[in-house]
Amino acid sequence: MTSSVDIDGELLVAAAQVVSEGRVLRPGWFSCRNGRIVTVGEGSPPRSPDLDFATQTIVPGFVDMHVHGGGGATYTDGDPEGVRQAAAFHRAHGTTTTLASLVSAGPSDLLAQVRGLRELVADGVIAGIHLEGPWLSHSRCGAHDPTVLRTPDPDEIERVLRAGAGTISMVTIAPELDGALDAIARFADAGVVVAVGHTEATYEQTRAAIAAGARVGTHLFNAMRPLHHREPGPVLALLEDERVTVEMVGDGVHVHQGLLTHVVGDVGAGRVALVTDAMAAAGMSDGSYRLGVLDVDVTDGVARVRATGAIAGSTATMGLLFERALAALPGPADAALTAASAMASSTPARAIDVDDAGDLAPGMRADWVVVDDGRVHEVYRRGARVADRAAVANDG
């Protein structure tokens, strides 16, 4: 019992289950004031709750560290209205904290895109910028325009950092490129999380990248040298180092669900971050779209570059990925719930150094998702509802 807690003037929220700090509180409750969690408790709440989800589960708001757009709009051109539209779409499906991922572009376009997104970080629309390229492998370019890929140039990196003015949160680099290790060290020194991806790197080159400061594997297995018994490549190097968080696009298209389950069982949910890698077609019908300058065709919900057939991101939402992970993870229900929640929230938040989101604990932002049988039911950000039930009834 927690009846002695004084929560006068605070919003009190109760649910059949609340996931908080890696535990399932059953029943659970929490209070918030001014958009922040104040108190979390288990058992009967200290007074009649203001919001009571008596048959449902509350998990922390989802954190997507790799997403290019959604709802018919994109982050990749830096247009403020499009960015707001895409962020609002994903927010309605549970993503209360998001990076805006750019694709490879020429030097002047890249700087313009970074400057366009910078103000939206200050406005709180996005949490930061992810540069997925242009310092990537030509042979593993995936849905990136190969004509703009290049080796890291120290002067360009300084220009990009100045343009971002502290808003660049993550950058993906292929560590085998000339100058890549110095670039990784420079970005890391600037407080930017460095990810290894779109790469032909060997096992040794990947270990060198980690030693230089890389801490994330961009969409593990996708667009990187595969595992081989004589040359394990980047996959093994990323998985075996406890400092590294690996992204996985758990939509059933990018990787087999059994492989996702295996990786989680091997390294733990605390090192696996679910990411959508979504593009503008997320939430939209099949048809023709663009990712950066490339034409993309979406058929049966799968996006592919028209010219090459390469997978061009996804059409998924974090709500869908959470639901799929929850259904696939083995073990007791509570273990699956806390693992899926970690992969969708606390693990990506920690990976990109967001210290006030990704969990329901005192002092954290009051961002939460109400789920019913694993599906998103309602979404709250900073204590306010951002999507009604009808808006998310057909999540995914």
Q: Is the peptide bond before 107 cis (omega within 30 degrees of 0)?
A: no
Burial 90-104 (b: 16+ CB within 10 A, else e): bbbbbbbbbbbbbbb
The answer to whether 201 and 233 have CB atoms below 8 angstroms apart is yes
CA quadruple 294, 299, 303, 304: dihedral, nearest 10: -60
**Which two structure tokens, joined as six digits, stand for 207?**
């270990």
CA distance 360 to 41: 11
DSSP H helical segments within the chain, as ranges? Answer: 80-92, 107-122, 154-164, 180-189, 203-212, 233-240, 257-267, 318-328, 333-341, 347-351, 389-392
Separation between Cα atoms, residue 268 and residue 283, nearest integer Å: 30
Torsions phi, psi of 139, nearest 5? -75, -10
Could you tell me where the beta strands, DSSP code E, fall in 325-388? 368-372, 375-381, 384-387
Active centre residues (catalytic): 277
Phi, psi for 302 (deg, rounded to 5): -105, 125
CA distance 265 to 164: 37
- Pairing type for strands 375-381 and 368-372 reads antiparallel
